[in-house]
Amino acid sequence: MKKFKSSFSSGMLLSTCIVTVVLLYAIYVIALRIPVSSVGSWQFWMAVTALCIIIAAMFHGFVSQIEYVGLTENSLVIQKKVGKITLPFSDIRQVRYKKSLMRDIRLWGISGYFGHIGLFRSGDSGNYKAFVKNGNEMVEIKTDNQTYVVSCDDCGQLLEVLSRHCGNRTGR
């Protein structure tokens, strides 16, 4: 399998580090308040709920981030920390370079913490699932049922290899 690693841009790495420090501090502050709240009070349950939400968001961001885009003999693999998405070449209708996410709308997901992860919408692509760590190196992959936007360290080479597998359905 040919692998195209997905690395953080420096801005995304900085953003992820800052958000992690803020969330860890929030966990610390909340954890200090739980013992002084009487068990069963609304303050206790609000603190526990906030703690669960913060930990779940951190966990989701970490496990959903993209690791690499892989190419096998007959499919493209979007490998996340936990899980993968496999797209047979026969299902891919179009592959092209994506310039920016700046004007796209996040419908559900995370931006700025472990990347741009989730469901987004753009005027020219419609709804798509994003797995992006570097907004400067993105590829849009359209199938009959879904559109994906992924980032990898050398999206130009990925597009070149995909053009051999998918014919003239690629573009930059």
pLDDT in tens, 136-168: 999 999 998 999 999 999 888 998 888 887 765
d(CA 28, CA 6): 31
Q: How far is CA 124 from the centre of its chain?
A: 20
Note the pLDDT of residue 168.
52
Q: Average of pLDDT values for 4-10?
A: 94
The least confident of 69-83, 121-135, 142-156, 158-172 is 158-172
**Which of 33 and 81 is assigned the larger pLDDT?**
81
Q: Which residue has the tokens 């953080």?
A: 8
> Does the pLDDT at position 130 exceed 90?
yes
pTM of the predicted protein model: 0.86
Task: Enumerate long-range contacts of 125-131, CB under 8 Å, 24 or more apart.
Answer: 125/98, 125/149, 130/101, 131/6, 131/64, 131/65, 131/66, 131/78, 131/80
Q: Is 85 helix (H, G, I), strand (E, B) or coil?
A: strand
Q: Average of pLDDT values for 61-90?
A: 94
User: 169: pLDDT confidence band, cut at 50, 70 and 90?
Assistant: low
Q: Is 153 in contact with 170 (CB distance < 8 Å)?
A: no
> Does the pLDDT at position 85 exceed 50?
yes
Note the pLDDT of residue 35.
81
d(CA 157, CA 159): 5
User: 41: pLDDT confidence band, cut at 50, 70 and 90?
Assistant: confident
Q: Is 119 in contact with 127 (CB distance < 8 Å)?
A: yes
Strand partners for 126: 122
User: 57: pLDDT confidence band, cut at 50, 70 and 90?
Assistant: very high
